[in-house]
Amino acid sequence: MAARHFGLTDRGAVEPGLRADLVLVDGDPIADIRATRQIRRIWCGGTEHTPAGGR
């Protein structure tokens, strides 16, 4: 894993306590930018949060 190779022990996976931010959208934002409005799941700092709107 690249993070481990560079000694970055606080990243490299989506887990609580690690530096991981991730947004999962429904669709392909490269093909259709409107997919960015269809947020399904969010992780910030490795912890999952509920998207606005309670989905």
Confidence band of 32 (pLDDT split at 50, 70, 90): very high
Q: Please identify which residue in the block is written with the tokens 């969010």.
A: 42
Does pTM top 0.85 for this prediction? no
Q: Which amino acid is at 5?
A: H
Indicate left, alpha or beta for 11 from its phi (over 0: left) and psi (-120 to 50: alpha): beta
- Look at residue 33 and tell me whether its pLDDT is greater than 80: yes
Phi first, then psi, for residue 16 (nearest 5°) are -55, 135
Q: 37 and 51 in contact (C-beta within 8 Å)? A: no
Mean pLDDT of 34-39: 93
Q: How far apart are CA 39 and CA 22, in angstroms?
A: 11
Domains and their CATH numbers in the chain: 13-55 (2.30.40.10)
Q: Which letter does DSSP use for residue 5 in this model? A: H
